[in-house]
Structure 1
Amino acid sequence: MIANKLTDLAVIRTNLAPDSGALCYILIENTVGGLPMPRMPKKTKQISFMQVMKNQKTFIHILVSFIFVCLAIMLASILFLYNQFSKAAMNEIGSHTQKLLDEQSINYAAKMSSLLDYIQKAVHNEEVLGYALARDNDPFLNYQAWRKLKELKDNQPIIDSIVMQNYYTGNIVDSKVGIYGRSEYPDQQLLTALDQEQGFRGQRLYIRRADYYRSSLRYETDYLSFVSYFQGQASALVVNIDIKALKEYFTHERLLASSNLYILDREQRVVYSPDPAQFQQPYQLMRNNTGNRWYKDQQQMVVYSPFSFFTAPGWTIVQTLPLDSVLHNLYKLRTLTYWFFSIILAVTLFAVWKVSRRIYRPIKNLIEEAVHLHPSDDAIASSADLAVLSQVLRSQKQQISKFQNKLVKSTKQGKEIFIRDLLHRPTHYSASSAAALFKEYELAVSINQLVILVFRMDNYDKFAKQFRYSDQRLIYFAICNVAQELISEVAPVETVDMKSGHIVAICEARGGMEDDFPAIARSVQNKCAELIKISLTAAVSLPVDNPNDLSSEYMQVLELTNERFKGGTGKCWVKGDGIAATESEYSYPEERERQLLSELKLGHQKQVEHHLEKFIEAILPFSYSEIRLSLLKLLLNLSKTAEQLNLALDHSSLGSLKRMEQMLDLLETKEQLIEWLHLTLGGILEQLQLQSVAAGQNQLIALIRQVVQEHLYDPNLSTKMIADELKYSSTYIRQLFKDFSGQSLSEYITDLRLNEVKRRLTETKQSIEDIVQETGFSAVNSFYTIFKRHMGTTPSQYRRQWENDSGKELP
């Protein structure tokens, strides 16, 4: 059995310096089936504790990550649980407090209603009523009234005083202060309020502050004043309740002693509060009419409870509870929770430390193996844990990359990529670096006297539609092989498929043979036409001595193939040979365009075709780029004209500038362009003709309806009569109206006559026979049949049904 060697790295304390705390590495080599044999390094290296920690960064990262995750989870759990529990507890406290307050408000409303009943009985008391109606100022009667009011007041401890105003005698009887004349009575504010309501009958409630002097002493009291006006009289009975006494109605052993009560009226003004200065002031924390709410900024809970009684609807009782008194026990629970989670956290951290060591052990063993595999690499051995693996993997990746690059450069694919980059992008190689690259990619040509041949596919649109993409690539591959075989017989050559409808051949012109390449290009064209049945347009460049100029030369030769637009497909063009520049400068034929668009708007087809030919003749002397620019401008103006005429545009050509450019790319020759322009203009002219026909038909329909309206009540009205009057055949009139409206002309006439019959049946008492004769029906019997078929009933039944439904009689 072959023994598998495993290497462990043990960290032990050195015996040389036991007090220094230094550590040293000893490699122990274990052999399966044998005893562990120590293998001492050549030199024992002492390292400090910080160095060990630095070399074990991964372990530290794992440990810190676990601790951070545990802390985050536990902290989030504590906050979530405490928040949820606090919300639940506060909601429960609020609901319980609100329930108690609702019970107290119901009790208070009942007591207030009982008090109002008591006041109502006092108003109807014979003695009180008798005094209110007394017109004599009798001191004895005044005294009797005062005694009665005091008796009524003593029966209800919550009542502060009862005041009787006798309007006839002007006396004021007050159960608290005695009998006064109107001018001597201390509480003049009350008298003013009573005067303002003079003539009112019933009960009123006043919330007021009485501020007056009596015997040189100032009295200030907040009152609820219930005023009862005697029916039919101007006298009034006033019952004053000291607002401070209202709190006694809410004294309850289950309410917190530290809470405060507020009573608010329907305008949310304070009627009662612990602070008298807030009387009749708007309550600042009033945001709800009912329920409870926590105000964190105020550190208190506010509970709302609505209540109402006879003369005071929409009042609210508010109780505020300080946060400290409500959550006192919750704070204790929170402290205990913190201690509990702290203990759990300590246990968790210990478990995390143990788990981290178990997770890190395989990583540590892998690092030791990497150090053992590279014993001579001191940089790797001194690095920190995962950095060792990273450097090893990086070194291996660099080696693999070198092998891959060498493999790619030695293949045909790498060569083609290099040639495409050389033609597409400008380069700045020196002569030596260019020669080195040509040699590295094993190109058959040198860097001097290079000639570019471009072979461009003719009728590319048809070719792309006829063959699948995979078949297209095979055809281009065949063209490259044909060119490679023919050209290599006379000169070194490299061919490449440019993946955009053409191939390129880069040739080396040796010994002044640059004049032979046009003939070579034509032989490639002929061979492809013979073997592959493909037509190619070729272009030949001038010799290039610098590889950095290949990109610009390639673009010029590729543009040269566009000369097939004027000269036709299947030809070979040579740069600088047989292509003369235009003698005059480029100028757009605006007059030709104007004449073309003018005749197009008029719908004159022959004139449009004539001006189109003149326009093409005017732009042909220019270069292809100038011709293309002129055509784009013409198409844009043609599109605007079509929009002005409200014509539907052909979305494959005139929909946008991008579609126009794509269409021009497909039109390789002037013949194809002229054919497409004729089709496009023909479509526009056809739409104009259809618009003209539709307009004439609309006018004829209007005339038909006009004739029908003029002769609607003529029994002889028919399709023939209308056709004779309008000078058209009956068949044409009948079919046109049917196609336009969806119903026959006779049905249209019948509907109009029936509408008039129905109007007369429901608006006049005219006999049915008279209506039939006056509305154009030829016979009564046929009318009945038509009416019943359309309405489902007879005319007389229709008239009776209308009278029954409307409830009206005919005039």
Structure 2
Amino acid sequence: MKFRLPLLAPLKRHPTYMKLIFYFVSANILVLGISFVLLYWQSSKTLLEEIGDHSESLLVNGARNTARLMEWALEFSFSSSDDSTLKVYALSDQYSDFETFEVWSKLMNIKNANPSIDSVYLINDYTNTVIDSRLGLNDAEAFYDQDIIKRLRDPDTADHSVLIPRTLSIPLIGNKPKDVITIVRFYEKGSSISALVLNVDTHNLMTLLQNNSNYAKRLITVLNDRDETVFSSTPLNQEQIAEFRSHSSKGESGWKIFQPRNQGEQLMVYADSSIKGIQDWTFIETIPMPVILGKITVLRNTSMFLFFILFVASLTAIVLISKRVYSPIQELISRIMRQHQAEKPGEGHNTNELDYLSSVFTSQRNQIHELTEQWRHNKILGRERFLRDFLGDIYHSVEEIGSQFQEWGIDLPEDHLSVAIFRIDQFSQFSKTYTEKDRLLLRFAISNIIEESLQSTKYGLQTVDMGNDHVAVVLSAPLSEEFTNKLQVTQQLIEQYLSIGTTVAWGRTLPSLTDMHEVYMETYELTQERFRLGPGSLFVKAWLADVPGELYHLPVDKERQIAQAISKGNADVVLEIIRSAVVKLRILPYFECKMSLITLFMDIRRLMQEHSSQPLPSSWGLTSFENQIIQQETMENVVPWMEALVTKTLEDITAARSQSKNAALIEQADQFIEEQLTDPNLSAKMLADHLDLSVNYFRSLYKAETNQSITDMISAKRLNYICQELLASDSPIEQIIHNFGFSSLNTFYSIFKKVYGMTPAQYRRLYKNGNAVEREINR
């Protein structure tokens, strides 16, 4: 059983009216909804931006001040470690009680210089003792801060000995832990762990940072560039640290809305600060969003109430406006129905007025489209196909051609009939720029410009799209300068309107209609003359002078000059000969010009190969050169490519020769060093004089070829022989040193310790004993 509502019956008879109401209401809801969202979002965004920017400014200032305090402590530790009393004590293997007391007093002065300093140690690795500002003298094994001892002894952690965040158990007060930042100043890094250790109280250092703002439940965290926690107002695990790091940007400051795992949204503010370029700290502050945006909820509720009132008022206005809009539409529908003698809605047709109106218009459009397609198929495409076949194929009789002319409505007088071709220049680039569909449209546009430009003359013509790179024109015009000028004007119009350059060729007059294909092919070949005369030219077959078709060959004396220039690496001579030859090629017809240029290229290639120790690159291949001729189209473009190839190849040949010569010089220098190794006067100057080179040039050459300076090479060879002699004999060390060319003992000891990390005596004792034990075991 169906239920019917009497009030809805009139509305069903006017579905268009209902659609108008629906569209207006939907648009009203959409506009109001977007306005409400934008208002709420903009207000929240504005407040957040103000709070975020202010919090960022406070955090940046706090970070800078904290970084300055840390930098002061760092500078203070470095300057304090340079105290001669502390340095001597840390590197001594014995000391007196007075010296110990004096050092302890200095450590106390360092500690008392700043309230942020928690404690100061002086570690002596030679006596295995530690002087602490808090406890005085301690044995290293019994010292309460074993963590720093282990860090300094471990090579992996010793490299990170500046600004170490850690927790320190404080003696004398129940080993209460304290967060500190440790600064270590080594006195002999790599040789011992003797060092000055300064511990900065982290909470004392971060006082300024903690007093930045008064937000409740805020969290402050400071991370270093190794993602270690320098300071945190609440303990963090590694997962939380990784989460903070993934949402903050290193080297930048800013803020964002951030929601930690299993927590509500928070405002995260972050800033970066560098501590003397040694370490970067990231300062992060998080504030719960309810603390910031608690009062915005009231604003949202008020806005929703106001928007509801506005919606009701707008809906009333929409209903009234829809009635006014619908009346003209209903009148238009009635007029169209009367004009086409159609049935009224509801009596066999669609009751939707707009659908009915659309169906009438669609039917008319389809009829027009069908007529247009039929006319185009019969008159344009058919005639285009015939003319393309007429030029590109051979018709057997004049009668067959005449009947096709009559069928397709082609009106061309048979006298003075000829072919002109408009060929697109730089077609390889043209093909890359335009798709096949676009190329078809451009050729169509070229045909239209030709017809508009030449149709005004008294001569008949037909344009034919031959595909690829050219459009042909079949025309009936006697040879005249006037028509030639018309062709040139048409060529200029194509470039002006389409930005396409063309080469134009006008062939000879047809003896008969059956010769059309042959004349078309001759005219297309005539466009190839642009190879020697350049693009944008216009060629008229009847006006071209007959030039003997002889190939140009490079004279013997020119070949000899090129061979000499190649052996000397003189590209200018080779290029000059090429340019002079090209001038002579320009007077030859296209085919002879092209073949002569290929012959010239192959002659130069042969001479290049004779003077090159390596095979020439593939660019010198005949296929590569022919491809360049096709792509570049003109000799003006091909010749610079050939000149650049010649220049590059000559540079490679010269570089190969130079490299071979340098290798020989280095070999002579190494041999001379071996021969004169015991001479104290052996130096870079002595080597340069021996090789007849300047000192500066020889130093640079040797460094570039070996990646090692001459002085380092001589020292390395001498040290190698000295080490062998130390293990092979019991001769005094000073005598061995003098035997191998070292005149200064201080210089030798400095170099030896830098290379081997020990004195010659220690080296002999360590490795000679080891060799003796090994020999005993083998025996």
Give the TM-score taking structure 1 as reference length: 0.44
Higher relative contact order (CA 8 A, sep 6+): 2
Name which one, 1 or 2, has greater alpha-carbon Rg: 1
Give the TM-score taking structure 2 as reference length: 0.46
